[in-house]
Amino acid sequence: MTESGAGMTEGFGKRLIGVFEASGHLCVGIDPHPYLLADWGLADSGEGLREFGLRVVDAAAGRAGIVKPQVAFFERHGSAGYAALEETIRAARAAGLLVIADAKRGDLGSSVEAYGQAWLTPGAPLEADAMTISAYQGVGSIAAPVELARQGGKGLFVLAATSNPEAFATQSAVVGSGVGSGVGSGVGSGELAGRTVAASIVDEVNRGNEAVLDSTVLDSTVLASVGVVIGATVRLADFGITSSDLVSMPILGPGFGHQGADYESIRAIYGSAASNVVVSSSRAILDAGPADVAAAITAQARELAKVLD
C-alpha cells in the first residue's frame, strides 16, 4: 500500500511537494535566542516567547510555506515555554504553514513511540507536521514514530550528516559487519558494512521508503514521508553519500545564512536532490528585527526561488 492508499492520510512527501510548488522551499526558523528576544524588545519569559513566535508566524504567513520552531529555546522556560510553543504551532498551522518541530528526539521502544505521539498525533497539544529525530540507537529503533508518521500524514527528518563539525568523526566513521535491522526494510547483517554511519542511515531510510511506496526504483517524482537532515555546510562525498541516494526523500538543510552556506550553492551541495531540500534559515532572517522580519522573509524567498525555479 502506498502512503496515500486506502485508509491512509495523504503522505507528508506529497504535501511537501505541494508546499514547494505553492510557496517555495524557504523554511523560517523560529529560534527565540535570548539576544533576539532582547533585540525585539521582549522579555526572556514564556510571554516573550509567545509574542516572538506569533510575530514570526504572522510575518511568514503568505511569504513562506514552512516554519521550524527550535524546541530547545521554548523548553528553557518549562511549562510556560511549552504553552508558548503550543500556541505558536497552532497559529502556524492555522495560517496554512507547514510546521517542522525541531525536537531531535531519539530513544527506543515505548519511549521513542511516546515522543512520536507527542509531536505527530493529530489533535495532540504539540501536533506538528513533521519532527526531527535521532537514530543513534539504530534506524530500526525509530520504527514506531515512522509508522505514526506514515499513518497520520506526518513527516520525519532523521539526523544523518549534520552541519556541526563535532559530528564529523562519528558520522563519517565506517560501519562494520553485523549491522542491520532497518525500518521494515529487510536490511540483513553486514549489508551496510563499508558504508559510513551517515550513508547507512540514508540507505536504511531509503529501504524503508521503498517498501512503503511499493517501489524498488525511487526517483524525484515522489517524496516519501521519512527523510534526512543533511547540513548545507557539509560535502556529501565526505560521508560517502551521493545525490542519487537522496532523490526520493525530503531533506532538511540547516546551515544557510548565519552558519555560512549561501543559496547560490544549493545545487552544488545537494546535486540532483536539490529540489527536495527544505532550506532552513533562522538568525539570518530573525536578526532583521520585528519591523523588518517580513521584508527579510520576502527577500530570501525570492533569492531562493531564483536558484531553484
Catalytic positions are 104
Q: What are phi and psi of 24, to 5 degrees?
A: 90, -175
Q: Render the burial of 72-111: b for 16+ CB within 10 Å, e for the rest.
A: ebbeebeebbbbbbbbbbebbbeeebbbbbbbbbbbbeee
* N- to C-terminal Cα separation, the chain: 32
Q: Which residue has the cell 541516494?
A: 245
From residue 153, give the alpha-carbon distance in Å to each of 36, 59, 146, 158, 287. 33, 26, 11, 16, 33
Non-local (6+) Cβ contacts of 22 within 8 A are 65
Q: What angle do CA 106, 205, 150 make, to 5 degrees?
A: 75
Grid cell, residue 180, equals 542491520
CB 158 within 8 A of CB 229: yes
